Amino acid sequence: MGQGGGYGGPLEAAGVCQWRIPRSYREDMRVEGLIFADDALIEQIKKDQGPEQVVNVATLPGIQKASLAMPDIHWGYGFCIGGVAATDPEQGGVISPGGVGYDINCGVRLLRSNLEWTDVKERVRPLVDRLFHDIPTGMGQRGRFVFDKPELVRLMEQGASFVVKKGFGTERDVEFAEAGGRLDGADPGRVSDRAIARGADQCGTLGSGNHFLEVQVVDRVLDPAAAEVMGLHEGQVTVLIHSGSRGLGYQVCDDYLKVFKNAPKKYGFSLPDWQLACAPVRSPEGQDYLGAMRAAANYAWCNRQLLTHQAREVFAAVLGKPWESLGMDLVYDVAHNIAKFEEHDVGGGVRKEVCVHRKGATRAFPPGHPEIPAAYQEVGQPVIIPGSMGTASWVLAGQPGSMIHSFGTSCHGAGRMMSRTAAVRLAEGRRIDRELDAIGIIARARGHKGLAEEQPAAYKDVDLVVDVVDKVGISKKVARLRPVGVIKG
């Protein structure tokens, strides 16, 4: 299925910023579809096939409650980007690599600092240049951290703590990462030699596409109490890192899509789109993929940890102070391409352990949830939403509505509204780096094409996207961060 053409099926208003696709739309739907969007965003969303992918996901065996999509929804591989689905393993529920994504545990982490913008303003250009020089960015780039196979096996088993024990971080970095920077049940033995080879020298590299490291400034605080708990205040310099499992995770997804190709026939179900290839969670194929996916997720947490270490080194070198004295602590690290087992209400007050697929969607647990750090128990889990490099990013806090409406999930970004090809065409004859410089944002990338693909016009308005999840009560706005420097692959 391509992404061309718009969605012509039904969409019924179903509450504040909620649009239902009824089960009656297609005979093969097992649950309804539900898209979170306001009136303006839903008009943009209907322009591609993302809503039809929400319908396709609603046909998966064992799916519970509804097939969901966040306001940053757009067409993706199998699942839409922004898609959320929970399946019940005890009812033949499936696991789908397309519901996790090629870049397993792509995610973001936010570092705060005790630096004010006035301290850094005159030195931001050499700071960004040094970040771009020292941190490997772009497709296929090798990093300075090279692991042999026995080390990679331990890394994939242990997650972020593996590189922290080597001196590349602190125990606090582990504590303030989703799941402690490690998924239990990782099985590196289920990761192919090809995937391991691809990952040997890519841990601690940024990658290409929409991956980035940004120097940002807190330009607005909307919830002073929550911001204080997170250590954020207006005028403060922060660093946002967006990267995932690199070639290793991509290869794991590719490997298991081939394994899953014949699973529907084997287990007696059909799919409307072969890109939804899946297998029952409890099947041998499903268990093998889960073991490999968790191993790749742990690799991704190590990748972001090593990127953090390198960013701290650069700040220390350029500003002439140890990173600890600069206060460069981790606020939080959260995944947005992952499948995890969690207990949720699946309707009618029934609670079950389900397999929650989050494809371009971010966990948003509310205050009091046992899986968030003690420091955030009263305000909720930090939810980090990057926008485009020319606009802003947001920090939110998970709210009780996420457990009611969305299996504890929020949006993950602004969401594309233009293909990469169209964005490059729009940028013809322009210099996106110079346009950004003119508005006070220093951008460095391997080539002009990467900046063209990621230009602000290619994305929805992140402020509108964040408004939706705030209004629904999924996550509430805490602080807005504007970029002043960005490096991209």
Q: Is 393 annotated as a binding residue?
A: yes
Catalytic residue among 74, 309, 357, 412: 412
Tell whether 260 is in a known binding site: no
56 labeled binding residue: no
How far, CA to CA in Å, does 365 sit from each of 312, 341, 372, 373, 476?
28, 14, 7, 11, 11
Q: Is 233 annotated as a binding residue?
A: no
3-state SS class at 186: coil
pLDDT value for 3: 57
398 is in an annotated binding site: no
How far apart CA 440 and CA 434 sit, in angstroms, is 10
d(C-alpha 73, C-alpha 360), whole Å: 8
User: Is residue 414 a known part of a binding site?
Assistant: yes
Separation between Cα atoms, residue 279 and residue 291, nearest integer Å: 14
- Is 48 annotated as a binding-site member? no
Task: Give the containing element (helix H, strand E) for 50.
Answer: helix 50-57
Q: Is 415 annotated as a binding residue?
A: yes
Does residue 187 come out as left (phi exceeding 0), alpha (psi in the -120 to 50 range) or beta?
beta
CATH among 3.40.50.10470, 3.10.110.10, 3.50.50.60, 3.90.1860.10 for 12-417+459-488: 3.90.1860.10
Report the candidate in 240, 303, 284 with the shortest Cα–Cα distance to residue 104. Answer: 303
Q: Which residues contact 166 (CB under 8 A, 6 or more apart)?
A: none
Pairing type for strands 409-410 and 362-363 reads antiparallel
Provide the residue-wise pLDDT of the chain in tens; the chain has 489 residues: 345 689 999 999 999 999 999 999 999 999 999 999 999 999 999 999 999 999 999 999 999 999 999 999 999 999 999 999 999 999 999 999 999 999 999 999 999 999 999 999 999 999 999 999 999 998 777 889 999 999 999 999 999 999 999 999 999 999 999 999 999 999 999 999 999 999 999 999 998 888 999 999 999 999 999 999 999 999 999 999 999 999 999 999 999 999 999 999 999 999 999 999 999 999 999 999 999 999 999 999 999 999 999 999 999 999 999 999 999 999 999 999 999 999 999 998 899 999 999 999 999 999 999 999 999 999 999 999 999 888 999 999 999 999 999 999 999 999 888 888 998 898 888 999 898 899 999 999 988 888 888 888 888 899 999 999 999 999 999 999 999 999 997
- pLDDT, residue 420, reads 86
- Separation of alpha carbons 383 and 478, rounded Å: 9
CB-CB contact of 74 with 48 (8 Å): yes
Distance CA 264, CA 24 (A): 24
Specify the pLDDT at position 449.
Answer: 84
- The domains of the chain are located at 12-417+459-488, 418-440+448-455
Instruction: Give SS3 for 85.
Output: strand
Q: In Å, how far are 146, 151, 207, 303 from 140, measured between CA atoms?
A: 14, 21, 7, 14
Angle at CA 227, nearest 5°, toward 224 and 233? 85
Q: What is the pLDDT of residues 40-91, one digit of tens each?
A: 999 999 999 999 999 999 999 999 999 999 999 999 999 999 999 999 999 9
Query: What pLDDT score does 4 carry?
Result: 62
Report the distance separating Cα 100 and Cα 290, nearest Å: 11
- Cα 7 to Cα 246: distance, rounded to the nearest angstrom: 32
Task: Give the residue carrying structure tokens 């030699």.
Answer: 193
* Backbone angles phi and psi of 154, in degrees to 5: -65, -40
What confidence tens digit (pLDDT) does each residue in 383-440 have?
A: 999 998 889 999 999 999 999 999 999 999 998 888 889 988 988 889 998 988 999 9
Task: Give, for 477, the enclosing helix (H) or strand (E).
Answer: strand 475-488
Please confirm, yes or no, whether 133 is among the known catalytic residues.
no
Is residue 387 part of an annotated ligand binding site? yes
Element (H, E) at 126: helix 124-134
Say if residues 458 and 210 touch (Cβ distance below 8 Å): no
Interatomic CA distance for residues 406 and 344, integer angstroms:
10
